[in-house]
């Protein structure tokens, strides 16, 4: 196995307004659609959304995806 030098970036955001599994699926779907995202994990009770990506994501891209899902990214 060869190391390709690929680096993953992991960032955690707080999303407000999520109350159910449908909310989790909506946020996961929209954030996963951002170019370079390889994994999204949502913790509903805390509102924490952990995003793993191939590059550093712009907060505006994540904010737009969360808002498209119908929720707000905390400042």
Q: What is the pTM of this model?
A: 0.88
Q: Determine the 3-state secondary structure of 36 from DSSP.
A: coil
Encoded tokens for 29: 């779907």
Q: Give dist(CA 44, CA 52) in Å, integer.
A: 17
The fold adopted by the segment(s) 9-73 is Alpha-Beta Plaits (3.30.70)
The answer to whether the beta carbons of residues 51 and 35 sit under 8 Å apart is no
Q: pLDDT tens-digit profile of 26-75?
A: 999 999 999 999 999 999 999 999 999 999 999 999 999 999 999 999 96
């Amino acid at each position: 196995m060869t190391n390709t030098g690929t680096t993953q970036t992991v960032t955690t955001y707080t999303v407000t307004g999520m109350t159910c599994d449908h909310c989790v699926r909506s946020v996961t779907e929209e954030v996963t659609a951002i170019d370079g995202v390889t994994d999204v994990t949502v913790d509903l009770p805390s509102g924490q959304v952990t995003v793993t990506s191939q590059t550093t994501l712009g907060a505006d891209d994540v904010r737009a995806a969360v808002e498209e899902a119908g929720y707000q990214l905390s400042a």
